[in-house]
Structure 1
């Protein structure tokens, strides 16, 4: 791409984004602290070294701003955490509809089939067609299901889509992450936040050793590295977000940030004093 598109060969700034996805798959299958993950990181380090050497020859690293980040972290393998004395286990949402409390709820609403149509983390999807046929209030059914599911082992929080869309959620860090995840046309009926170090060991039908998708620290802590192009050497300890990258790069270029960007400019990156 760099050669064929002649990136970095004129006065107009070019943007190149590369995803190294093997890190994600290796962590899922073997766990982030496995020897396989360690081997993969060493190989990634060598790959990056080759890439930067190539860029240096073609464009010059002094003319290149490098940003290294990740879209999420990962949970550790339950067996490893258990060896450290931590409470952890996988959760099986497919069994929730069979729980006695859910059977009682189905009887209350007159359901003779599954009330929970499917679970695609982090959402419970209810049988909306059946709810409509029974002329039930979707909001009331969502709230009833959320109340029961929140009592299940491994569940820390259950938030209905009705509450999210009406703005009826507490204004705290955890609920803010839940609200930010919601899309009215795609999201399910009840958003589930599992307890820390609890997760669903299923990824598109594949049983995995570890996964991600929670609001807890191990899932939201990722590297965010800016290098090259007059960036001073420094280590900064502050709460930042990967959504800050786009607006910060826009500030470096002196252009307007993307219309959908919601991050903040990382001023310390721009500080060259």
Structure 2
């Protein structure tokens, strides 16, 4: 009897062991990273009752949503956001400190992905001379390539070049972005290839961009139903050139000539739809999700940013863009179900930054919200150095709320650099729209663990950043936007609070109100994929998102 019991136990343990092996979570065949440019978190809640069941609601209800996720650095710009999402770290490590920034070695402003050592592919212009070489660390996509012995395909797609290039890191098979041109085409760089694949050429030959802008942009639904937005005709939005009012319908065919030709598509929701069309063509053309190794597709929807800049947070145009994007996402998810299989893909959706409400609109409600006048501030700064050091050429550059000193000039005059820096910190705080000022030396010698100075510190790169860093007042943006629209870049909640939603293979259903940071996405997915995190990663694994 004892012998039979022993045999029964052994058989049971063997069956249980086999079941555990069978139930082990299989890695997804395709990972899709979706970045919605300039998407504030509250666009999920504000338009919730208008979204369908197949887009945002599908991944929120069946995936895991982080409701209190934030960027943990300044500046909150597009290139910096995409780099931080995919490296799992902040600008002090990955080196992308802006879209453009002042290079204190070259003495000029540089663009984050410009690279003259490579050639354009798919266009005769210089718009393809790009690469990720200014990105210092590896990305999630790099690590996936390394873990799979360079197998699996990694492709980045966006209207913006920086949004296509930075997510796929240094080992991407391809990155494609939009070139306005005569017909509007997706192009690339010789960093990735010498010629466009046939499926890209076929897509470009269809002239889809031209088709989308051959019709007016009208609201998806009756304009009277857009009650989540302010009046369509208001003074807080920027008009398209040639329009008398910033109102629907926007007659795209007649507006093209004065508004960047076919490039006007970028500032409409149809730019997102075009991006979706191209992403679907990439999945089919590259057989993504059908290979032995895990593939990765990065999609950045850029048009939400262009629309937001022109029309602002509270515009009917912004609401309409998100309602249309919701339908595009539903189309994408349904397409993935069919082409890849519901159990074979994992998605994350987030944003590269939020946006401020138009100060003029906030002022109309008696909420403090000034504009920052860069020219006036430059005069103010030069007056400081003139007063205390008898020279108004000691500050070489002012950009991205940073001051770069003219070190050669200071040395030639026998002045002390630290004395000038301390005086600038002491005096610039007196400017009407400056909230805080801090020196690079303080950031190097002091550890700020919370608050806006912690965000400044995370965004400060000792090699590239300025000598004095400034924080404008809350809800302050450039006076450029006095004519309408808005922008982003601060460390305040309207710019830092963004959605993070995980969905699909290996992801639990649920939500969390705990505070997480944007740099936590990549360590979490690295754990899901059983790969090493990027070499500069400082984020943490969000354990509650993952199935055990």
TM (norm. structure 1) is 0.90
User: Which residue of 1 is the match for residue 534 of structure 2?
Assistant: 258
Gaps of 5+ in 2: 1-281
User: Which residue of 2 is the match for residue 61 of structure 1?
Assistant: 342
User: Which residue of 2 is the match for residue 9 of structure 1?
Assistant: 290
- Counterpart of 1:248 (choices 514, 524, 548) is 524
- Counterpart of 2:432 (choices 149, 153, 161) is 153
User: Which residue of 2 is the match for residue 24 of structure 1?
Assistant: 305
- Counterpart of 1:216 (choices 485, 492, 504) is 492
User: Which residue of 2 is the match for residue 185 of structure 1?
Assistant: 463
CA RMSD of aligned residues (A): 2.1
C-alpha contact (below 8 Å) 1:201/1:209 kept by paired residues: no
The question of 1:267 aligning with 2:543 is answered yes
C-alpha contact (below 8 Å) 2:520/2:542 kept by paired residues: yes
Distance 1:137 1:208 in 2: 43
- Counterpart of 2:390 (choices 110, 127, 134) is 110
Distance 2:324 2:476 in 1: 30
Deviation at 1:171, TM superposition (A): 4.1
For 1:86, what is the secondary structure of its paired residue?
coil
For 1:148, what is the secondary structure of its paired residue?
helix
For 2:306, what is the secondary structure of its paired residue?
helix
For 1:19, what is the secondary structure of its paired residue?
strand
Deviation at 1:97, TM superposition (A): 3.5
C-alpha contact (below 8 Å) 2:384/2:427 kept by paired residues: no
C-alpha contact (below 8 Å) 1:247/1:264 kept by paired residues: yes
Deviation at 1:40, TM superposition (A): 1.4
Distance 1:190 1:208, change over 3 A: farther
Deviation at 1:104, TM superposition (A): 4.9
How many aligned positions are there? 267
For 2:539, what is the secondary structure of its paired residue?
coil
Residue deviations 1:187-212 (CA, integer Å, cap 9, x gap): 11211111111122449xx9762111
Distance 2:297 2:339 in 1: 14
Distance 1:102 1:268, change over 3 A: same
The question of 1:233 aligning with 2:233 is answered no
User: Which residue of 1 is the match for residue 352 of structure 2?
Assistant: 71
1:37-52 superposed matches below 5 A: 37-52=318-333
For 1:73, what is the secondary structure of its paired residue?
coil
Gaps of 5+ in 1: none
Distance 1:236 1:196 in 2: 27
User: Which residue of 1 is the match for residue 205 of structure 2?
Assistant: none
C-alpha contact (below 8 Å) 2:346/2:505 kept by paired residues: yes
1:83-102 superposed matches below 5 A: 83-99=364-380
Distance 1:242 1:79 in 2: 30
If asked which structure has higher relative contact order (CA below 8 Å, sep 6+), I would say 2
C-alpha contact (below 8 Å) 1:201/1:210 kept by paired residues: no
- Counterpart of 1:34 (choices 315, 318, 329) is 315
Larger radius of gyration: 2
Residue deviations 1:114-154 (CA, integer Å, cap 9, x gap): 44333211212233332222122222211111111111112
User: Which residue of 1 is the match for residue 421 of structure 2?
Assistant: 142
C-alpha contact (below 8 Å) 2:422/2:439 kept by paired residues: yes
The question of 1:172 aligning with 2:440 is answered no
Distance 2:484 2:397 in 1: 19
C-alpha contact (below 8 Å) 2:455/2:491 kept by paired residues: yes
For 1:44, what is the secondary structure of its paired residue?
helix
C-alpha contact (below 8 Å) 2:522/2:539 kept by paired residues: yes
Distance 1:104 1:78, change over 3 A: closer
User: Which residue of 1 is the match for residue 477 of structure 2?
Assistant: 199
